Amino acid sequence: MILASVLDEISARLASARRVLFITGAGISADSGLPTYRGVGGLYDGEVTEEGLPIETVLSGAMFSVRPDITWKYLAQIERNCRGALPNAAHLAIAELEATLDHVLVFTQNVDGLHRKAGSKRLIEIHGNLHDLVCTSCDFAESVEDLSGRPLPPVCPACGGVLRPLVVLFGEALPESAIGRLVAELEQGMDMVFTIGTSGVFPYIAAPVVWAAEAGIPSVEINPLVTRLTPHVTYHLPIGAAEAMGAIRSRVAALRA
């Protein structure tokens, strides 16, 4: 009953909100069958790789520049984990809310592309997307469904150079344009902020939640675990993303009917 009443209160606030920010991490994709391991996009487990190097080293921009084959070996493992995964109730709920509320923004750490597949259009993929490929030697770029059947590293069909996914590797700077978009959105204000399936380890993920708390903006954390963000939010829902967002979506739909 306590959880139900909290869901009711959150849904009532959301139904009347005009501008809403959803911050998502690997946990939102757990119900799509993706592991919530650490690494690029939260999809790799293990402190040391077969090469005897930390995962942060093999998945770094520095390693890619000298041994793209090693970096691609682990990028391909991540991509295979994502392959065939479908958006779950949480992704779909957020996309539906974007279609019904005035302004919904998704700011995600994930590189799995599931928010795109669910239909979210106002989307900032701060770590990029594994399925957007660019050539390191020319201007060739393409978006692919998956990497099956391709050599590793993938070869540019235009010049024969090495392709790389548009993801932020360890040691690389975040895309300035994406950060600029987030800042511009926050400057226009938010009526509500959700954080789903992320522990908020990175400052740029935690900052909007802390900003909301300081500004008195209602905030919601959806995570079975207590995280460093929990003390800052208005509501903490200690359940899975699909269960929580499915319940919220149905309540908002009823309130707005």
Three-state secondary structure call for residue 45: coil
Q: Which of 82, 96, 107 is nearest to 196 (CA)?
A: 107
Active site residue 131: no
Q: Which phi and psi angles does 109 have, rounded to 5°?
A: -80, -15
Active-site entry in 127, 131, 232, 236: 127
Helix, coil or strand: residue 234: coil
Cβ atoms within 10 Å, residue 127: 21
Gap between the Cα atoms of 113 and 240, Å rounded: 19
Show the tokens assigned to 247.
């319940």
Distance between CA atoms of residues 56 and 63, nearest Å: 10
Count of H-run helices and E-run strands, the chain: 9, 9
CA dist 257 and 255 (Å) reads 6
Residues belonging to the active site: 127
